Structure 1
Amino acid sequence: MSATSKTRRLVIVESPAKAKTIKGYLGPGYEVESSVGHIRDLPNGAAEVPAKYKGESWARLGVNVDHDFEPLYVVNSDKKQQVSKLKKLLAESDELYLATDEDREGEAIAWHLLEVLKPKVPVHRMVFHEITKDAIRQAVANPRQLNQKLVDAQETRRILDRLYGYEVSPVLWKKVMPRLSAGRVQSVATRLVVERERERIAFRSAEYWDLAGVFSPKLSASLGQGVPPSARAGDATDPHSFGAKLSAVDGRRIAQGRDFGPDGQLKSGSADVLHLNEENARALTAALADTAFTVRSVESKPYRRSPSAPFRTTTMQQEASRKLGLGAKATMQVAQRLYENGFITYMRTDSTTLSDTAVAAARSQVTQLYGRDYLPDRPRNYAGKVKNAQEAHEAIRPSGDSFRTPAETGLSGTEFRLYELIWMRTVASQMKDATGQSVTVKLGGTAADGRDAEFSASGRVITFHGFMKAYVEGSDDPSADLDNRDRPLPQLAEGDRLTAEEITADGHATKPPARYTEATLVKELEEREIGRPSTYASIIGTILDRGYVFKKGTALVPSFLSFAVVGLMEKHFGRYIDYDFTAKMEDDLDRIARGEAEAVPWLRRFYFGTDDVTAPAGERAVADHLAGLKELVTDLGAIDAREVSTFPLGEGIVLRVGRYGPYVERGERDTEEHRRADVPDELPPDELTVELAEELLAKPSGAYELGTDPDSGHEIVAKDGRYGPYVTEVLPEGTPKTGKNAVKPRTASLFRSMSLDTVTLADALKLLSLPRVVGTDPESGTEITAQNGRFGPYLKKGTDSRSLQSEEQLFTVTLEEALALYAQPKQRGRAAAKPPLKELGEDPASGKPVVVKDGRFGPYVTDGETNATLRRGDDPESITAERGFELLAEKRAKGPAKKAAKKAPAKKAPAKKAAAKKTAAKKTTAKTAAKKTAAKKTTATKTAAAKKATTKKTVSAKTDVPDDGA
């Protein structure tokens, strides 16, 4: 499509990548520019609050809570240049097209653009779900008006999240640790992870036993003749021998893991269940040694499985985690690129609906690739499962009215794999069901001791794979069989005699509930209807970045810090971290979006509280909560900071969460019995037992006096710091620690061969003597020193350095040896590569072998092209292949690091102009000084003004809180 030569049209989208793609479809006459996301928002800190509002009591919030919660919007400092550019382009244009995404966030960005740009030309709202030539041209030809309901809905959420985050977070700063944050959804997500860890801590394992047998039908002599041994043993399609599990003894069902509670005891109502221990199981095995078995029943049922619905945001995140090892954030980054480059439809959607065009494209590919036998007579339609699903979106699918196969896209790496996943799921959704037969066989016999033993086996044969030819959904349980796997049994009939080839006793232990992964946490949040599915990736990213959660493999492990935060929230803000209450808030926000409720009364009840318990049922989430948020954060005297950060372990030992990390403690401070030890950051909370705490307390910790330096007279101590053991000197009281005359104590890390248990004063003094002067180069007269650096021991001569082989050489290397090292040519480039620490196998995205290596900045995983540093909780020796693939996928999703653009050197003003500027500056300074003097006199007589000034200082000093983004 092209515009007439007289008409100039400006199209504004969110991202530069999208702008570039759309520009190629529109051609001349259209200027396509991006806003680069939001151009304005609530002020992010006191520095962004306009001067005329700085004295207002609500300035810190950026929301005038006393004036109908009116938001204060400011143009982001990093967007001012872009706004100027957009204004200039708009001044040269005859029409404006706002082409932001068609959801609440996109509609809000379009509204903010209107408010800031104030266009005097016709404005059109241009919407599309895919970036293809036809879709873009249709969007230009069929614009609509701005949807103010969507704007209001997004604004209400933004205000709510700001009130929540900016009011509750300071409570955490004061009572737990600085720079923490709270959020409407992030705090609830953290609570889910913490509660799962509490369950694991309280869990007690139970041991139970059962029997596993391998059985085969008895063959008569005539039947057995001429049958090859391989056939009698069974093959993949008609197996002869098969496995079965003991299911009952004397009519009592054998206890399995599901029969035990978290306390390790059988659940109530399990009186008829037989709990076998090892002794009983082995005795029964012996008694069944010569038992004859017969088939007691054969039950056959038809098997049918239907395809899953096309992807929506959360199901795509879950499946990408299972199959590609991608985290939620990385998945969305890759999907964003696929969308912006025209490969898939919009990726933030709750819908499972496919357009008629998409259905036709999918059915066409089914016929082309698999044949008409796999195509159902009618198109499949999928009902939405998400309550209050977002407006007007399709499911995530390949873009266009005919789908490109993955091989036709030209994509590679993670983008190829994710597109392939989306393509397969879409095509499979329009294929026939998989069908087959499932069979359950029960067999039994009488043991030598008279007990009746019954075994059972189940099998499945898929006779028509249907959609499974294209796609099979993954499972969150890595040990679970996928749906497309046959489990055949031999042809058996009731009364058939069987021979037990082998019967063994198997011991089992119940396992604690599995920790959440990103995929299962997304699923849990969606099932509880907490937050918006489109924000789950950012929520998980936030709790990881804030240190509330870290990863161990793919599992999400809560930190000890999160226990303190969640404990405080549960005790003092219980309603605001309640799962049902949070879900009801989501319902209320959706009612506002539909125009069924008003935003301001709802916000007023939430923030100021209410005595009105007769509000509409849909608004009860906050109506019957008498105390509003403001009241709860005003009086903090009831919150005992030490109490919320203390957790008893037993035997008089407590865990405390301090400002510098978690530690265990026993005994009162300032007593001889008092002991304290830091807890490793990467230790999962469920592994901190009393026994482990005893070990930590038994290790040397704190400051251990080694003696006095005879030269300086300073006390020398050894400590175990956050970065390892070290020695240091204790400076006398009164020694200046800051300013020009500051004196820093000498400090040195222990060598790898040393430990706090064995280090002596002599060792410490040697370490503190570094760097050591080795001698002087006779040719240059330059001093050569031996030093211990970040990357190991080395020699230094001026700016020239040489590595030493060991730390001990720091004290033994001679001048002759040093000169010999310098006489050798300096090695350029990298040293010889170290052998890998561990091999993880082939990366599913790149197809290349992945290994763990030890680098200058710590261990990392690599496939030869992409390197990803191991995170907290990742042990290089025990890291799993799935975790390694996930780290690489996340690194690829971020793309290459952006290099900072070099600034052009500032031009020097001519001498005359510079002199004139200086004179003007002096005059301005004099005027400013006079104004300051007058202001001081005025301030001295006005107490109220003084109080405002104090408030302004407080606002400036506070650490800003990132919003929840839910």
Structure 2
Amino acid sequence: MKLVIVESPTKAKTISNFIKDGYKVESSFGHIRDLPRSKLGIDVDKNFEPQYVIPRKSSKTVANLRKLADKSEKVILATDEDREGEAISWHLTKALKLENTPEKIERIVFHEITKNAIEQALKNPRQIDLAMVNAQQGRRVLDRLVGYKLSPFLWKKIFKGLSAGRVQSVALKLIVEREEEIEAFKATEYWQLEALLKKENDAQTIESRLVKINDKVLSQLDIKNKEEIDEILNELKNANFIITKKESKESRKNPLPPFTTSTLQQEAAKRLGFSAKKTMLMAQRLYENGFITYMRTDSVNLSQESLIAAKKWLTENLGAEYSADAPRTFKTKSRLAQEAHEAVRPTDMNMGQDNNSVTDASEKKLYTLIWQRFMASQMPQAIFETTQVDIQAKTDTQNTSRNFTFRVNGNILRFDGYLKIWKQKFEEKELPELKENEPLNLIELKPSQHFTEPPARYNEASLIKTLEEYGIGRPSTYAPTLSVIQERHYVEKQEGRLHPTDTGKLVNKVLKENFPEIVDVNFTAKMEESLDEIAENKIDWHEVIRNFYEPFAKNLEQKYIEAPSEKPPEEKTDVVCDKCGKPMVIKTGRFGRFLACSGFPECKNTKAIKPEVKKIGMACPKCKEGDVIEKRVTKGRARGKIFWGCSRYPKCDYASWTNPLEPQKEKSADADKETKE
């Protein structure tokens, strides 16, 4: 018998459908060894040696896998082909005591869970990539040192329960700095002018905008106030309008590349309203059920087989004119992308965008988005006819003689190309037949007052895009980073936009003042590059950790002495004290956040904050009537621990320590949540 080990039971079940005789497929249920939760688990004095343990929840799994491994002629490690998956395979060899029988171990990788992909992987086993394992260890150790060392500092200087992390703290800083920009912003007045014109004996009007005065092209703020616009209006009262230039040309618009992890999260947020966390949960399930390729990728590469399949589907279903002449390839922008990976795409083009095998509504929406984006990437350009007409208004008054140029643009779609599948909003504007030197009649001048607007707050999509542009984090880190800064109450989402809380602002202030490198964008990006160099076997991971930790530890020791304590912020609320009538505020104490009367100490009224009911979008698997919601233990040794239960409790007693929607595999991006227990 040959034993195949993967991370999740869903993945195991799907693979079992493809290989049966002589194989047994089992799940490790994610990581089976990790750093201990109750202590640092890193021997700093022994070259940062990690002290891995088998968590209690994994002990039965490990015991079962050991028995099966002992009986098997081969142990085939089929975890994901990324650093986390490579590390899980390496830990399995240690936990299952396979180091002494290396001839039994095979490592296989694949980008999609299909019969052909699994069969090809089994024919081409390889060794565990220790450079990738070391990169994962480096990240894990780095995140643990930052989290377990900085979090107690925040507890001492602010209050207990706070946390810091390499990526989460930079993300928080970006959000806080954007808020500071908005608060410091001062609006500037400016004016724009439109001229409503028409041809003689023609009912169709032409809306043109003032773009130039004499030879000066106007910028947004050039017309500053009402006095300036009134002066222009006065000059134009008796102006003659004539067409001085007309240019028509064909313009082509290229399709976008297929999805990477970050662009999938961004587009799912824009088009479907999904959070990054929800997108990754849905994508994980689609992948494990064999519907899409691996969803943690920063590559836009496509396999030759997928390109051939796309062309065949497009030709047969839409016609040859909707298939690009040659396969369209895209260049991966990220210098550090793993080119062996593919973009996120459907595994079977013939399933169509309405794949009936995908039964969950949210999964189907995401699958359709992935299918459309991939298929559109292999379609021809959209072709537009664009027309630009310049209209000169010449004035000749006693005081001045200035030429004013107005412009109108037309846009007509001549061939939809990829837009047939990938719908995008664009404005078609058809102009009447116009000729150069043709006069036009003025119907109305329409001045409009405007004010500059502050920069927009980040939403999840724009923050992910910014993190990626700075080179901060990797495909697996974006979703958990966004989750943790909201779960820690550093950031609140209001109407889809990320607002820093007073607590978030204070944590950022303390970190910025005392540990500027931790929240420095360039420092964090360089650290990511160092981790990539470890994966490329260019540098030793111990050296990267040592270079970071020695100055960090020295600074931390000093700051414990030098840095002042900060008063925990109070947050205003709309809640009125039922004893004295004054407004209540949210305070933070040793047991967490609570409502307190702002009239303290005269009024000592306090109240518990009713926890927000967090539905996860899944019906209760036990009673089928309630919703699964996130809860916290309120009593006993497990007080404060998160679990998932039925909204109909106590009528239904369903409960689980693990999120039933979460993939079993635990990505190390979650290590950025590290805080000492």
TM > 0.5? yes
Distance, in Å, in 2 between the alignment partners of 1:556 and 1:93 is 52
Show the counterpart of 2:321: 373
Q: Does 1:87 align with 2:66?
A: yes
Show the counterpart of 1:172: 154
Equivalent residue for 1:463, pick from 408, 414, 423 = 414
Q: Does 1:429 align with 2:374?
A: no
Q: Does 1:248 align with 2:196?
A: no
Distance, in Å, in 1 between the alignment partners of 2:148 and 2:614 is 38
Q: 1:250 to 1:728 in 2, by over 3 A?
A: closer
Asked if 2 retains the 8 angstrom alpha-carbon contact of 1:124 and 1:144, the reply is yes
Show the counterpart of 1:696: none
Shift in Å, 1:247: 1.9
Letter in 2 for 1:246: L
Q: 1:701 to 1:444 in 2, by over 3 A?
A: farther
Q: 1:10 to 1:549 in 2, by over 3 A?
A: same
Shift in Å, 1:596: 1.2
Distance, in Å, in 2 between the alignment partners of 1:11 and 1:498 is 78
Equivalent residue for 1:350, pick from 294, 298, 309 = 298
Show the counterpart of 1:944: none
Query: Residue by residue, what CA displacement relative to the aligned partner does 1:471-492 show, whole Å, maximum 9, x if unpaired?
Result: 146xxxxxxxx3x542332332
Show the counterpart of 2:311: 363
Q: Does 1:964 align with 2:672?
A: yes
Q: Does 1:76 align with 2:55?
A: yes
Show the counterpart of 1:111: 90
Letter in 2 for 1:635: Q
SS of 2:110 mapped into structure 1: coil
Moved more, 303-312 or 452-461: 452-461
Aligned length: 624
Q: Does 1:636 align with 2:559?
A: yes
Gaps of 5+ in 2: 587-593, 620-624, 631-645, 647-651, 658-668
Q: 1:730 to 1:306 in 2, by over 3 A?
A: closer
Query: Residue by residue, what CA displacement relative to the aligned partner does 1:436-472 show, whole Å, maximum 9, x if unpaired?
Result: 2322222122458555432112222222221111214
Distance, in Å, in 1 between the alignment partners of 2:293 and 2:114 is 9
Letter in 2 for 1:410: S
Asked if 1 retains the 8 angstrom alpha-carbon contact of 2:574 and 2:583, the reply is no
Gaps of 5+ in 1: 1-7, 46-59, 220-231, 234-239, 260-273, 474-481, 609-627, 646-657, 663-677, 683-699, 705-716, 732-744, 750-788, 792-855, 871-890, 892-896, 903-960
Pairs within 5 Å for 1:184-583: 184-219=166-201, 232-233=202-203, 240-256=204-220, 259=221, 274-282=222-230, 284-285=232-233, 288-289=236-237, 291-390=239-338, 392-400=340-348, 402-412=349-359, 413-446=361-394, 451-472=402-423, 482=425, 484-583=426-525
Distance, in Å, in 2 between the alignment partners of 1:406 and 1:579 is 39
Asked if 1 retains the 8 angstrom alpha-carbon contact of 2:577 and 2:597, the reply is no
SS of 2:133 mapped into structure 1: helix
Distance, in Å, in 2 between the alignment partners of 1:790 and 1:277 is 50
Distance, in Å, in 2 between the alignment partners of 1:156 and 1:147 is 14
Moved more, 462-471 or 450-459: 450-459
Distance, in Å, in 2 between the alignment partners of 1:637 and 1:597 is 32
Shift in Å, 1:533: 2.5
Q: Does 1:148 align with 2:141?
A: no
Equivalent residue for 1:128, pick from 110, 113, 117 = 110
Moved more, 488-497 or 413-422: 488-497
User: Given the two structures, how large is their TM-score scaled by the length of structure 1?
Assistant: 0.60
Q: 1:350 to 1:175 in 2, by over 3 A?
A: same
Q: 1:499 to 1:106 in 2, by over 3 A?
A: same
Query: Residue by residue, what CA displacement relative to the aligned partner does 1:397-441 show, whole Å, maximum 9, x if unpaired?
Result: 1014x4410234333411111111111111111111122232222
Shift in Å, 1:509: 0.9
Distance, in Å, in 1 between the alignment partners of 2:559 and 2:319 is 69
RMSD: 3.5
Pairs within 5 Å for 1:661-676: 661-662=569-570
Asked if 2 retains the 8 angstrom alpha-carbon contact of 1:702 and 1:719, the reply is no
SS of 2:476 mapped into structure 1: helix
Pairs within 5 Å for 1:735-884: none
Show the counterpart of 1:899: 654
Show the counterpart of 1:776: none
Query: Residue by residue, what CA displacement relative to the aligned partner does 1:12-55 show, whole Å, maximum 9, x if unpaired?
Result: 1111111111112222432221111111111111xxxxxxxxxx
SS of 1:199 mapped into structure 2: helix
SS of 1:96 mapped into structure 2: strand
Shift in Å, 1:244: 1.2
Q: Does 1:42 align with 2:48?
A: no
Q: 1:113 to 1:30 in 2, by over 3 A?
A: same
Letter in 1 for 2:26: E
Show the counterpart of 2:663: none
Q: 1:414 to 1:181 in 2, by over 3 A?
A: same
Letter in 2 for 1:103: D
Letter in 1 for 2:464: V
Distance, in Å, in 1 between the alignment partners of 2:383 and 2:477 is 38
Show the counterpart of 1:595: 537
Asked if 2 retains the 8 angstrom alpha-carbon contact of 1:210 and 1:276, the reply is no
Q: 1:242 to 1:408 in 2, by over 3 A?
A: same
Q: Does 1:584 align with 2:526?
A: yes
Distance, in Å, in 2 between the alignment partners of 1:560 and 1:679 is 10
User: Given the two structures, how large is their TM-score scaled by the length of structure 2?
Assistant: 0.84
Show the counterpart of 2:572: 679
SS of 1:66 mapped into structure 2: helix
Distance, in Å, in 1 between the alignment partners of 2:80 and 2:392 is 64
Show the counterpart of 2:660: none
Q: 1:92 to 1:899 in 2, by over 3 A?
A: farther
Distance, in Å, in 2 between the alignment partners of 1:65 and 1:748 is 44
Distance, in Å, in 1 between the alignment partners of 2:109 and 2:653 is 31
Q: 1:135 to 1:965 in 2, by over 3 A?
A: farther
Equivalent residue for 1:15, pick from 8, 29, 37 = 8
Letter in 2 for 1:899: Y
Higher Rg: 1
Shift in Å, 1:703: 9.3
SS of 2:79 mapped into structure 1: coil
Asked if 2 retains the 8 angstrom alpha-carbon contact of 1:108 and 1:154, the reply is yes
Shift in Å, 1:11: 1.4
Distance, in Å, in 1 between the alignment partners of 2:338 and 2:200 is 62
Asked if 2 retains the 8 angstrom alpha-carbon contact of 1:439 and 1:459, the reply is yes
SS of 1:575 mapped into structure 2: coil
The share of aligned pairs that are identical, in percent, is 40
Q: 1:639 to 1:204 in 2, by over 3 A?
A: farther
Distance, in Å, in 2 between the alignment partners of 1:62 and 1:501 is 78
Q: 1:898 to 1:635 in 2, by over 3 A?
A: farther
Letter in 1 for 2:208: A
Letter in 2 for 1:22: I
Letter in 1 for 2:4: V
Shift in Å, 1:299: 2.8
Q: 1:569 to 1:116 in 2, by over 3 A?
A: same
Equivalent residue for 1:101, pick from 63, 80, 88 = 80
